Amino acid sequence: MLNKSFSERFIENARSYTHYKFTVMNPDGMIIAATETERVGNFHEASYQMMQEGRDIMIVPPEDVKKYFGVKPGIDVPIVYKNEMMGAIGITGIPRDVRPAILIAKMAFETMLEYDYYQQSIAKKSSELNLFRDYLIYSETKHPDDLRALAHRLNYKTNLFRVPILLELSNRIYSDDKLFLLELKNHFHENDMILTTHEGDILIFKYVQENKDEILIRINRELENFIDSINSIFYKREITYKYYRGALQNNIDNYSSGYKHCRWMQRHNYSGEDFFNYLEEYFTSLMPILEQNNIYGAIADLMDQQLREVLIDNFETLKVSNFNLSKASQDLYIHKNTLVFRLNKIKNFFGIDPLHNNSDQFFLSLLHSFLKRSDKIKTEEV
């Protein structure tokens, strides 16, 4: 059924460009908009009869006006959208004089109507997409049925394997730029999800194929290829960006955790890194600082500032290099003997051997995380 406000808008536009007098009728034959406003609310029998009989046109010459209730000389034609009779539009005047005008008006009305419905569908989908996003990553209360219903309407399959990727743009205005997002989507798989967060970042749940051979290597390769494919779009628009990855997910109920992984990586500025490389630090961050202090506080108080700095500045690189002294010293841009000297300070103070003992490595790793975290808290308090 035709919308009254839409029909009135058409009449106002027509009034601005032509002297012809138009009427718009709903399927019940009631005039809902008219150039002659006094006719609004009246019944138009000729138009009603045309729609009831499924005719393509109703011509009412002056001599036939008395045959119908509420009509004037002119022509009525149906308004059709997707093969459905939505109502009718009429024009007042001598039929042979106004026939070309009513056919143009019909075409214009139906074109406007199609565009209006398209805009409504876009707005509805956008609204549903925002609600889907909020249920997916922000809601503290689970809405599994609503979430799956929205996913179905948005054509998202809920049981596929996807990796969350958070894109942080230098200019976040592009996060809501429809043309930019459309161009970006051209590089996506049909099973990818793309959302704009409240913070203005772009969140992608990137589909990866279900293959059980070398899964971590293969996923890393797929994600690297994807990032390479979208680089040109950012380069063309002179947008710099960082991206942060979370853990692989295959249950839509857990996607919020994947998003939280990305946010954790973002807070720690681990751009472009694999989340799985930071699991120990991530799990440590989940432990309350008070509990960490109960474990390491006394030990930390025994360490002087120089030893704290040696551990904080060197341990991460040692760990990443799997305690390969040659590789770690290169990454630290220091001589290998200098690194050995620093490591011996740690070994002698604690009486441990992190190069050859996994338990000692784990002890130092948690201590390293505690020192970094406590120093950060002290800095924020100043």
Instruction: Tell me whether residue 212 is in a domain.
Output: yes
Residues 300 and 335 in one domain: yes
Q: Which of 28, 258, 73, 91 is nearest to 165 (CA)?
A: 258
Instruction: Tell me whether residue 226 is in a domain.
Output: yes
Q: Which of 148, 242, 227, 160 is nearest to 188 (CA)?
A: 227
Instruction: Tell me whether residue 142 is in a domain.
Output: no
Residues 334 and 262 in one domain: no
Residues 270 and 185 in one domain: yes
At 259 the pLDDT is 96
The answer to whether 211 touches 218, Cβ cutoff 8 Å, is yes
How far is Cα 289 from Cα 254, in angstroms, rounded to an integer?
26
The answer to whether 56 touches 77, Cβ cutoff 8 Å, is yes
Residues 245 and 326 in one domain: no
At 141 the pLDDT is 74
Instruction: Tell me whether residue 149 is in a domain.
Output: no
Q: What is the dihedral of CA 151, 154, 159, 164, to 10 degrees?
A: -90
Q: What is the dihedral of CA 193, 272, 315, 367, to 10 degrees?
A: -20
Residues 104 and 9 in one domain: yes
* Number of domains the chain contains: 3
Q: Which of 53, 50, 54 is nearest to 74 (CA)?
A: 50
Residues 14 and 106 in one domain: yes
Last residue of a domain, which of 72, 95, 120? 120
Instruction: Tell me whether residue 80 is in a domain.
Output: yes
Residues 311 and 237 in one domain: no
224-231: list long-range contacts, CB under 8 Å, 24+ apart.
Answer: 226/187, 227/272, 229/187, 230/184, 230/187
Residues 266 and 329 in one domain: no
Instruction: Tell me whether residue 320 is in a domain.
Output: yes
Last residue of a domain, which of 70, 92, 120? 120
Residues 238 and 165 in one domain: yes
Which residue has tokens 């689970």?
142
Residues 10 and 108 in one domain: yes
How far is Cα 60 from Cα 39, in angstroms, rounded to an integer?
17
At 284 the pLDDT is 85
* Domain span including residue 167: 156-277
At 236 the pLDDT is 84
Instruction: Tell me whether residue 128 is in a domain.
Output: no
Residues 179 and 234 in one domain: yes
Instruction: Tell me whether residue 129 is in a domain.
Output: no
Residues 236 and 295 in one domain: no
- The CATH number linked to 17 is 3.30.450.40
Last residue of a domain, which of 240, 257, 277? 277
Sequential pLDDT tens for the chain (382 residues): 788 999 999 999 998 889 999 999 999 999 999 999 999 999 999 999 999 999 999 999 999 999 999 999 999 999 999 889 999 999 999 999 999 999 999 999 999 988 888 777 765 666 888 889 998 999 877 778 889 999 998 899 998 999 999 999 887 777 667 777 778 888 889 999 999 898 889 999 999 988 777 888 888 999 999 999 888 888 888 888 999 999 999 999 999 999 999 999 999 999 999 999 888 889 888 888 888 889 999 999 999 999 999 999 998 899 888 889 999 999 999 999 999 999 999 999 999 999 889 899 989 988 998 898 888 777 766 5
When computed from its CA atoms, the radius of gyration of the chain, rounded to whole angstroms, is 34
The residues, ordered by sequence, that sit 6+ positions from 255 with a Cβ below 8 Å of its Cβ are 136, 137, 162, 164, 205, 249
At 142 the pLDDT is 75
pTM: 0.60
- The CATH number linked to 241 is 3.30.70.120
